[in-house]
Structure 1
Amino acid sequence: MSRLERYGRRRSQTRAQRALSVEEQSAKASAAGELPPRNNKHRSTKQQLTKLYYQFLIVFFIGLVAGLLIYGYGMLDNRLK
């Protein structure tokens, strides 16, 4: 596959179309007895890491807000005594 075929029409295709074309290519390769491309076998974990990072941020800020509220209520109780 040439570079132009691989990257030239990337913006015009949706992810589903690209995934389908990759699956078709790997099916053709397996029918011909060739190995599938490495990126089909070992997909990138960038999306998984991004999702994990955002989940960490959400939990971190929720914990921070809860901690500050507890700390604030503790300081309020000390002033009233």
Structure 2
Amino acid sequence: MHIDWHGYFTWFGGNEEEALDFQKNMYVVPMLTWPEMEQTAPTPNTQIFTINQFSEKKEAAFQWIMASVSLEYQ
């Protein structure tokens, strides 16, 4: 999932053929809303960190993620 602004649908950094293929394989759905929290929305371009199951350095990756989301770093 990628949450972004509406202009993302027409943008692509490749050539025209790559852009058409990119757009052809894109699915668009509305973002969830909460009636009791009308002014709440996800931040566009939110970064998601994951650790690949095949990583040989899972602990180091986890420590990097934790440092990246720490209050001191933010």
Tell me the TM-score normalized by structure 1. 0.22
Q: Which has more radius of gyration? A: 1
